[in-house]
Amino acid sequence: MKKMLFIYNPNSGQGFLKPKLSDVLDIFVKGGYDVTAYPTQKYHDAIAKMRSCEEKYDLVVCSGGDGTLDEVVTGMMERLAEEQVPIGYIPAGTTNDFARSLHISRDILEAADTAVNGSVFPCDVGRFNNDYFVYIAAFGLFTDVSYETKQSMKNILGHLAYVLEGTKRIFNIPSYKIRVTHDGEMIEDEFIFGMVTNSRSVGGFQGIIGKNVIFDDGEFEVTLIKTPKNAIELSELLGALGLRQINKERMYSFRSGNVRFESLEEIPWTLDGEFGGVHDEVVIRNEKQALQIMVKKEALEKLGKKLSKKV
């Protein structure tokens, strides 16, 4: 039989996985896999598990929120010298932006079936200095909400937990003066928010980046929001965001596979909804098609330029 490592976060979301865990394992075994299951015990435990794996697996499946997926992918990327193993993802978190972007079902059993019977899609991954992210690296307005909101609060209230936590910060908006360099161009301005993404959904909102997001092209979508100087500029900015439009007077938007951020002060960043440290210099590079992730066969043509293979 083929071997699978199944890493899951038992505390993610509202406990959707727990009552269906037996059925999930049954799908894996019927798919021809000898399964080793590992429930994570603490923050960054999935990274540690991936690092310590000595046995070779044909497939790694993870279940949890985007942060759990981030940890598994980070651990996988650190093993680049070894053969890359496909990753299946069963979304069981609060937001599940990446799963939504890749058309991976939020139905636990359907996602489990995709993990073992779907097709491999070669997706881009982000390198963030010496770290990694799957679909978003961001700084500024509300980016700390996801990792500062308590898991128990997320489980009970879902998206409302983020909203409640975010309202505490609305009258204390930080502004950062940053030099951004990409593809021979340089931008110097003050920003309240910035994100480098490979996703069609951010914070549960679809289409905020645009519809033409390709996941295997070696480029990220970069969105930078200028600091509004008065109430009129703030109103124009909020209006553009509400309509999912790029206001060129208030925002910068471009695509790049290599971006450098330099600031006078250290800025807190978030990577896939988890704390990414504070930095005064960040280099983000696109690792083209470095992640082999399982998706539905019918979703392949919607995601990238290149058809993929079945495991």
Percent of the chain with pLDDT over 70: 76
pLDDT reported for residue 158: 46
Beta carbons within 8 Å of 168's beta carbon, 6+ residues apart: none
Partners of residue 188 on adjacent β-strands: 179
**pTM over the 0.85 mark:** no
99-137 in b/e form (b: 16+ CB < 10 A) is: bbbbebbeebeebbbbbbbbbbbbbbbbbbeebbbbbbb
Q: Which band of pLDDT confidence, cut at 50, 70 and 90, is reported for residue 162?
A: very low
What CA–CA distance (Å, rounded) separates 96 from 65? 6
Q: Which of 160-169, 236-245, 258-267, 271-280 is most confident?
A: 258-267
pLDDT, one tens digit per residue, over 261-290 is: 999 999 999 898 888 999 999 999 999 999
pLDDT, one tens digit per residue, over 10-24 is: 887 667 788 999 999
Identify whether the C-beta of residue 137 lies closer than 8 Å to the C-beta of residue 284. yes
pLDDT reported for residue 236: 65
pLDDT, one tens digit per residue, over 225-234 is: 888 877 666 6
Domain residue extents for the chain = 2-124+289-303, 132-288
Residue 52 in this model has a pLDDT that exceeds 90: no
Residue 69 in this model has a pLDDT that exceeds 70: yes
Is 16 strand, coil or helix? Answer: coil
Query: For residue 234, what are the CA distances in angstroms to 188, 210, 243?
Result: 20, 21, 14
| Sign of torsion over alpha carbons 189, 193, 194, 200 | negative
CATH of domain 132-288: 2.60.200.40
Q: Do domains 2-124+289-303 and 132-288 have the same CATH topology?
A: no
Identify whether the C-beta of residue 93 lies closer than 8 Å to the C-beta of residue 59. no
- Element spanning 139, H or E: strand 136-140
pLDDT reported for residue 280: 97
The topology (CATH level 3) of 2-124+289-303 is: Rossmann fold (3.40.50)
Identify whether the C-beta of residue 93 lies closer than 8 Å to the C-beta of residue 297. no
**Which of 74-78, 80-84, 137-141, 161-165 is least confident?**
161-165
CA-based nearest residue to 158, from 146, 170, 167: 146
Q: Which of 189-193, 239-243, 255-259 is most confident?
A: 255-259
Identify whether the C-beta of residue 7 lies closer than 8 Å to the C-beta of residue 46. yes
What CA–CA distance (Å, rounded) separates 216 from 304? 5
Higher pLDDT, 100 or 207: 100
pLDDT reported for residue 31: 96
